[in-house]
Structure 1
Amino acid sequence: MARDTAPQKQPTEAQLREARLKAALKTNMARRKAQTRARDAAVPEDADDNKDSGPGRPEQES
């Protein structure tokens, strides 16, 4: 017995666009997660002590 399969329909422009956007979003999220992991790994643990000081803010004296 042979199986009858319907021919595949070509996706519409909207479906193609949605697939492209979905792939781009997935890549961007992966890149941003990797950047966040790299930043977290590069920051020393005692760096949180100076959160309030920065450009435009005076140094805090303890």
Structure 2
Amino acid sequence: MANDPQKLTRQERLAAKLRENLRRRKAQTRALQENTAGEAGDSPPATLPKDSAKS
């Protein structure tokens, strides 16, 4: 009964969507790290460069 979408409160629906999003992002990160590690050996995962020249 708790899994019935019509019976869930707004907060429960949002919590479920957040968990789903987190799982998807973690899977994407793991895939990216696997691809990067396979190409570059023991180098750290690819990240965006930090912009140190801010105006």
What is the aligned-residue identity percentage?
A: 15
Structure 2 residues not aligned, in runs of 5+? 44-55
Rg (Cα) greater in structure: 1
Cross-structure match for 2:36: 39
- Post-superposition Cα deviations, 1:34-55, rounded to whole Å, max 9, x if no partner, equal 000000000146x7xxxxxxxx
RMSD over aligned Cα atoms: 2.0
Higher relative contact order (CA 8 A, sep 6+): 2
Instruction: After superposition, give the CA deviation of every residue in 1:10-59 in whole Å (9 maximum; x if it has no partner).
Output: 000000000000000000000000000000000146x7xxxxxxxxxxxx
Match runs of 1:1-62 below 5 Å: 10-44=7-41
Gaps of 5+ in 1: 1-7, 48-62
TM-score relative to the length of structure 1: 0.56
| Alignment TM-score, normalising by the size of structure 2 | 0.62
